[in-house]
Every structure is written in C-alpha cells, then in structure tokens.
Chains A and B, each alone.
Chain A
C-alpha cells in the first residue's frame, strides 16, 4: 500500500474543519479584531507627528526594545508605531494558536485513542497529520489575508497595501512555523501535554532570545524565528525575505514531522515520557505542601509576570515629562500637584494598576480551595486527620504570602527598570513603600474571599466582580470624574496615594482590621457548613 499514505486526507481535513470551525473562527477573528482596533486607537491618541515622536522617545530604551523589538524610531509613523508595538506580540499569539490547534489533532487525538479508531478505517497512515496541518495552514492563510486586507482598508496614510499584506503575512507565517514545530514535537513526545509544553518552550525561548539579542547584538537575533518578524520592518522597509525564510522553515518542519510519523508506531514517541516519582517528597506530605505543589506552576508564572509588568512600567518612567506634556487624555488621568516630580505623580496610578493585578494571583490561590472542594478532592484530606481550620488555614497563608510576593516583585521590577532610566535613580524605599501600602487592601479582598468560601461557597466567583469594579472606579475614576464615595466602596479607594497625598497609617490599620474580621468569620463559617460539590 505504499503511496497510499495520504488516502482520504482531504476528507479528514473537512472533518477537522467541521469539528473546529468555531474554535478556529474565534481565534482568527479575535486576533484580527485586536490588530484592527489598535491603529485606530493610536490615530486618536497620537494624532500629530509630534505626539508620535514623543512616544518614540519613550520607546528608545533597552527595556522597550527587549519587549517589542527594534524599529525605526526616527520615522515613527502610525504604521511603524503599530507594527513596532503590536506585531511581535500578535505574532506570538498566532504561534500559540497554531500550537494548540495542531496538538489537539495530533498527539491529543492519538493519546485519547481517537486516532486508532480512524486508522482502522481505510485512511492513510499520514493522512490525519496532514489533514490537521492542512487545516491549520488554511487558518494561517486566512489570518494573513484578513489582517492584511483589514489593515489596508482602515485607510490610514502610512499603512499602504504592501506593508499591510506584509503585516498579515508575518502573522500567518509565524503561525505556520509554530504549526510545524508542534507537528514535530507531537511525533517526538508521547503526551499531548509534552508536545504543547515543548512547543511553548520554543516560543518563549524564541521570544527571550530575541529580546536579549535585540538589545545586545542585532545580528544574532536572526537565529530566533520571532526575530524574523521584526526584521520584516513592516510599513518601513517592507522586507519580505524573513517571511520567505519562515515559510521555508515551516516546509522543512512539516516534512520532518511526516518523516518521523512514518517511521514510528502508533502511540509511541521518540522522547519516552519519563516516569513520575514513585514516592512523595516529605514536603508534599502535608496540606500546605500539597496546596503549594498544586499551585506551583501558576505561582511561578504569575511571579515572573508581575516582575515583567513592574519592569515594563518602570522602563517608561524616564521619558514621562515629554510624554505627558503632549497627551491630554493621560494628563487628565493624573492628579496635578505642584512641587512633585512627574514620576511621583505617575506612581499612584501605576500602583493601583499593579496592586489590582497583583491581587488576582492570591485570590486565585484562595479560590483554589473551593475548586478542590467542587472536584471532591478535599474529602481525601478531611476524612483523614486534617481539620477544616488547618485546611483553610493552609490556603489562607499561601494566599497572603502570594499577595505579598506578587506586589513586592512588581515593585522590585518597577524600581530596577525605573532606576536605570530615570535621571538620578529612584528610591527603593519610596517605590516599595508605595506598593506595600496597597497590601492591606489586598488583604481585605483575600478576607472577603475567605468569607465567601465560609458562608456563600456557591458565590466565590463574586470576588472577581469586586476586583473588576475596583479597577474601573479607581483606574478610570479620574477620567470619568466619579465622586469619591464610589471609589471608597473598594478597599483600594482607602489607600493614601503616597507620595501625592499625605501618608497616614490609620486607614491601613482599619483595612487590616476589616480583613481580619472577614477572614475570621470565614473560618467560622467553613467549620460549620457541609462540604459540597
């Protein structure tokens, strides 16, 4: 039956397309939507070349280059600006789309036995892989065309047809490349989690390698496939070679995946999945150890994210003066005071955003307990010699420490990047103090989460609405001129905005008290109620 390896590929791709039509549409349309709203927003916000040049100035530092890649800052048109700030990130997301779509229909289907079923039918041994690749390739082409034509149709002067098509092509080609990467790892790894994990690792390493080399040695960043995206210099020099390179690399990867698939048995891989531990480490053998272990990956990812967030805010502090003097909207957001530097004025608004974002991981850590309850896993602990107080206490302690670590890391990131770009440096104590003054407000949120777990377990999700409310009224409050009491419904509205406002410890102590009462009530409630699912 040689030569019949591809039998029914077309039919299978129609099948996959049918299965995933919603999923693919959502990915492609939301990526396109995201691409198309940004230039219009930029056009509103930076309508004159002067404003755009001011923006270009704030981008001219290593931290920003590491984040978004290089660009011709002397020719910062709306097009260049959009490509500089958006293309790389969007391309990385397009890569993620490909990774998830390909893994779904290669190793995941194989792992779950669906492929075995299909292979027992008269289809070729390589048909399903190629059907999956065909569908993802079509999705990438669709993504490229929609974005390219969409951007051009915005009718922005600096966004010509060639540049727009190149923009789309860069997105699509990145998608193709990572589809190829995933197809290869789906052959190598024995589990779909492995295939996704390795592929995302390649994506992240590409990004980080590009970040480092873009700052240190531009030529070396040709090694990273994500480096190629910025080398296209969309809307500037419109360089098509990196795209050709990406498509060529994708073809090689597709071929490699086919070859590896052809020489292996169904269900097997080349990287044997390593057997897990047969014994638990002493660390795992307690409720708090278990809770930490379950959240390990999430906590580490958030910790890195918070540091990066802080650092990226910090990196723009250097050019604040020029930036804000030209942007009316942002000026309105800030509270104007005499005798205080721009950085100091900017700080409270940054801190509100940072502290609200830093509140998310500790709340997730707290609500994890309710998740464990719903999945009927805490029964294993409570039916052994673990008390409810001990169990809730473990999650509470983790949540509180989590919050402290997150806001501290964000402050550290802000300070370390900020002190590098601001003339005369920044005071660590000032930054850290400003960040920590939000910690009591975070505690109130955590306390409320404990209260809900204790008394209203069905409504633990309510806390997210409160976070959202706080974000809207406090971040955008200045813009909309809300009256004071609306902000004060949120604990974050009670934090003195040092260094603008005079610092006072009283409201912070009161917040701690409220947090303590809420948490204590939650413990009582949790000890009194049924464990449900």
Chain B
C-alpha cells in the first residue's frame, strides 16, 4: 500500500509552471530519494504535499487522504524538516524543539535528550546565535523525536558537517528499521545513494527517472580500465562500448551496464593482467540526464 501517491501534479506560479505532471509514490517502510538540481521543483512538490501550497492540477494523496483538504489530519503523522530552517531569534533552541514536539502530538522526553546529545546541540542558546547547521539540527531533533509515520526531509543536511551528516544518516536508518517511510530530497548524491531504496529524479518540474537503484543502474555505464597480455582487438565493433582510450596503464572505456557480461567475455580472451572498474554512481546518471541526450562520457 502506498503511503504517498502523487499523480500528475502540476503547480503554476502565475504563468510560470514550476511542476509539470509530477508522479511520485512512496510505500511503507521505504526511503525515497528525491533528487534534482536547484530550482527543479523539489521544495515546491514537498510544499504541495504538506498542503502549504495548493496544486493547480493533479492528485496528491498522503495516507490516502487529500493533501490539501485533510492537511491537519495528515500532519499528525508527518514530521517535516524544511530546507531553510528559519527560527524565532528570541526563543532558545530547547524552547523551539519543545514547541515543535508538542505540536506534533507525541512527547518523548528521553528521545529528545538523546538526540540533542547526538547532534551536539546547545538547547539553551537563542536561535539568533545559531548557525544554519544548528538551526537544521533543531528541526531534525524535533522531527526525529516525534512519533511520525512519514518523514519529509527537504535537503536536511545542507548545513551539517560530515560528522553530523553521519548522525543524520543513522537517524534515517533508525526510523526505517522501525518501518517508517522517508521522503528525502537532496542534491547530495552520495547521501541518497547510501540511504534510499528508490529514487525519483526531477528536472525543470518533470520527473525524468524513477526506480530502484539497481533498476536505474541499467541506464548507467561502468568505467573500466583493462590491461591485457595481448593487445585487445575488436572492441570498437562491440555494442555498448564508449570512449575507448589507450593509456600507459592500459585501455579505458565505458560500458553500458547491460553489456558488461559480453564485454568481459570478449576481453578475457586476451589474457587480463589488470582489471579495474568504477561502480556507476548516481552522479553519472545525473550527468547524463542534465546534459540531455548528448553523449559526454569521460566523466573521470
């Protein structure tokens, strides 16, 4: 059963179409990565999910309820961390966390203290004195202290240092283990790669790719470096091979992930002395989509 289902969502700001037929789906216990460059429409989509913006067209269901009509009902089971956390300068972090937790419904004191410790946050400081990262921590502590079923996190780590990013990842793993669902928007690919079961990629208000990581990897190429005893012949004629280059260490090329088997079979005839491969990263995927159909290759 899907916890969240977005069908053909469009959103216009005046004449500008920010979202153009977005489809998203998130199942229970799943972490969905929502990737796109700045201005792609991630935050706009999330705001529609939260009933803060009204959709121009399409259907948005959360917990099988309408995101706009039943916003308050839905929010009782949702924890949200915005991308830009703006807080009240004259309240302390501790006061804000308590306020947020209270408005979320459930109060779990032990969890709150544990997370404040983990994120190394001083709750007695006024928000005016907090850096961007610390303000994000306030929102994260409040979100993960709550008993929500759905976590909507909009680029939540853009201000955190690597150590705190690790703490954040543990928190996400933790709620996932408890069978909760997470929508994680990001342009930090490594983060999404580690945490997400599935990703949806948005660009200029349109979802351009959606699926599990392994599904998407079929669209990507693996970078290979091969050295053999005898010179390799016939590579050029093979299907799915790109960017062949000779170097001192051997031959480098990119191969479509679908064709790997045949390519390996072919080159093994020449007596492999060295074989290195770089796994396909979401970065490659990203690049290919952002640079259009144009074959750029030679990423690394």
Contact = CB atoms under 8 A, between A and B. Distances in A.
A386 interface: yes
A386 B104 CA distance: 9
A293 B91 CA distance: 9
Greatest chain B CB density within 10 A among A278, A285, A381 is at: A278
Interface in A357-401: 375-377, 379-387
B124 A277 contact: yes
Interface residues of A, number: 29
Contacts of A279: 94-95, 98, 123
A508 to B, nearest CB: 36
Contact of A376 (B84, B96, B97): B84
A383 B80 contact: yes
Contact of B76 (A278, A286, A385): A385
A382 B52 contact: yes
B53 A284 contact: no
A383 B75 contact: yes
Nearest to B82: A379
Contacts of B54: 528-530
What bracket does the count of chain B residues touching chain A fall in? Answer: 35 or more
Nearest to A297: B90
A312 B246 CA distance: 92
Contacts of A377: 86-88
A530 B72 contact: no
A430 B12 CA distance: 57
A276 B78 contact: no
Interface string B252-296: 000000000000000000000000000000000000000000000
A294 interface: yes
B102 interface: yes
A238 to B, nearest CB: 46
B95 A384 contact: no
B71 interface: yes
B167 interface: no
A529 B105 CA distance: 26
Nearest to B146: A384
Contacts of B91: 280, 284, 293
A290 interface: yes
A86 interface: no
Given A280-B94, A293-B91, A377-B87, A384 B53 contact: no
Contact of B94 (A276, A286, A375, A529): A276
B28 interface: no
A296 B44 CA distance: 34
Interface of B: 47, 50-54, 71-72, 75-76, 78, 80, 82, 84, 86-88, 90-92, 94-100, 102-105, 123-126, 139, 152
Given A276-B95, A276-B125, 17 more contacts: A276-B124, A280-B98, A284-B91, A285-B102, A285-B103, A379-B52, A380-B82, A380-B100, A380-B139, A383-B50, A383-B52, A383-B78, A385-B103, A528-B54, A529-B54, A530-B52, A531-B53
Interface of A: 275-280, 284-287, 290, 293-294, 375-377, 379-387, 528-531
6 contacts: A276-B92, A279-B98, A286-B102, A377-B87, A384-B100, A385-B75
